[in-house]
Amino acid sequence: MTEKSRNVIEIAHLTKQYGEKIAVNDLNLCIKRGEVFGLLGPNGAGKTTTILMLLGLTEPTAGSALIEGMDCTRNPLEVKSITGYLPDNVGFYSDMTGRQNLRFTGRMNGLSGKALEERIDGLLRRVGMEQAANRKAGTYSKGMRQRLGIADVLMKDPEIIIMDEPTLGIDPEGMRELLTLIRELAQEDGRTILISSHQLHQIQQVCDRVGIFVSGQLIASGTLSELEEQIRKDGSYLLELEVQPCDDRLLAMLRQQEGVRKISKEGNTFLIDAKTDLRASLTQFLGEYGYTVLHLHQRGGDLDEIYRRYFEKAGQSDERDGMEKKKKYGWKYEK
């Protein structure tokens, strides 16, 4: 087994129950060295509870979680020594400068003198915070705080970094910079990154693999192409179709097509839910009856659509149907 393909995080039958509520239910997951893995799901799905168990901050009801072969519950200090954590709301001393905050963290991790100052300078350069290093942290924007947070995490040079909602509340430019930095941490440093998020479009750009988490259960995991292929195997196709003329006769004819399960409409666009790929047969059919095709698109390769499909497959009521047309930046799933 090569170093790159070795599992760094191994989770087996991990379960956390609070009274009668099961926050995490029989989670099985492996994450490889140098991989960026996105744990995706709505608020309340169990993502943060999973992170807390990985950090040894709460004990599982059943199952186990290992980081570099060390049990996260039995050996929390050893796990923390090689694992960095970036919470969704990074805490700094607001009356201290960015540099002073990093110096405090460095001393807490046993650094001092010239080695400490060189580490601080290098990390400030890497996260693009040199110009703001001597400003008080209380004046920083959310994006600047996240970048300083990454520098803070890197002070102890961790092998694994766990990030909880890292892109939440960041403007598009700040998000682009943050996502670029995350990729560099994996590709150039070989660090393993676990990201918990409900902001799908942003995470889609940076993750090697994703896991879809719903109601405490991991209902699917893999690359986007693997998840899309599995949806296809399950006989789930959603086709967008816009034609002229758009009349009742067309709707009646579409319903008669073999494999069509459901037809809905968004403006002048038909959404056709089918068991098979209808593009070839529909194109021929519409041409024979004199319809002009203005738009024909098979949904599926986009993470938002893949998530929606798995969410429905899990038997959940998808309360986000009305949100599909919102802009992708900043789009998030609510409780």
Least confident of 1-15, 226-240, 241-255, 305-319: 305-319
- Dist. CA 185–CA 47, nearest whole Å: 22
DSSP 97: B
Q: How confident is the model at residue 302 (pLDDT cuts 50, 70, 90)?
A: low
Q: Residues 6 or more apart from 229 whose CB is under 8 A from it?
A: none
Whole-number pLDDT of residue 333: 31
Whole-number pLDDT of residue 14: 97
Residue written as token pair 């099961």: 22
Between CA 83 and CA 91, with CA 85 as vertex, the angle to 5 degrees is: 145
Whole-number pLDDT of residue 319: 40
Q: Report the pLDDT averaged over residues 171-197.
A: 89
Residue written as token pair 């409900």: 198
- Dist. CA 137–CA 100, nearest whole Å: 9
Between CA 202 and CA 146, with CA 98 as vertex, the angle to 5 degrees is: 10
Q: How confident is the model at residue 322 (pLDDT cuts 50, 70, 90)?
A: very low
Q: Choose among 71, 68, 72, 42: nearest CA to 58.
A: 72
Percent above pLDDT 90 for the chain: 48
Note the maximum CA span of the chain: 80
Q: How confident is the model at residue 30 (pLDDT cuts 50, 70, 90)?
A: very high
Q: How confident is the model at residue 178 (pLDDT cuts 50, 70, 90)?
A: confident
E strands of the chain, at which residues? Answer: 7-18, 21-32, 36-40, 62-67, 70-71, 83-86, 160-164, 192-197, 209-214, 217-222, 237-244, 260-266, 269-274, 292-299
Q: How confident is the model at residue 232 (pLDDT cuts 50, 70, 90)?
A: low
Least confident of 15-29, 214-228, 230-244, 255-269: 230-244
Domain ranges for the chain: 7-222, 233-301
Which class does domain 233-301 fall in?
alpha beta
Using the predicted structure, report yes or no on whether residue 5 has a pLDDT greater than 80: no
Q: Report the pLDDT averaged over residues 327-332.
A: 34
Using the predicted structure, report yes or no on whether residue 201 has a pLDDT greater than 80: no
Whole-number pLDDT of residue 223: 87
175: tokens are: 């998000």
pLDDT per residue as tens digits for the range 38-85 = 998 888 889 999 999 999 999 999 999 999 999 999 999 999 999 999
Using the predicted structure, report yes or no on whether residue 326 has a pLDDT greater than 70: no
Topology of the domain covering 7-222: Rossmann fold (3.40.50)
Whole-number pLDDT of residue 279: 85
Whole-number pLDDT of residue 171: 81
With beta carbons less than 8 A apart as the criterion, state whether 116 and 102 touch: no
On average, the pLDDT of the chain sits at 84
Using the predicted structure, report yes or no on whether residue 195 has a pLDDT greater than 60: yes
Q: What are 312-319's contacts with CB under 8 Å, separation 24+?
A: 313/219, 313/234, 313/236, 314/214, 314/215, 314/217, 314/219, 316/214, 316/215
Whole-number pLDDT of residue 267: 79
Using the predicted structure, report yes or no on whether residue 335 has a pLDDT greater than 50: no
pLDDT per residue as tens digits for the range 109-159 = 999 999 999 999 999 999 999 999 999 999 999 889 999 999 999 999 999
Whole-number pLDDT of residue 104: 95
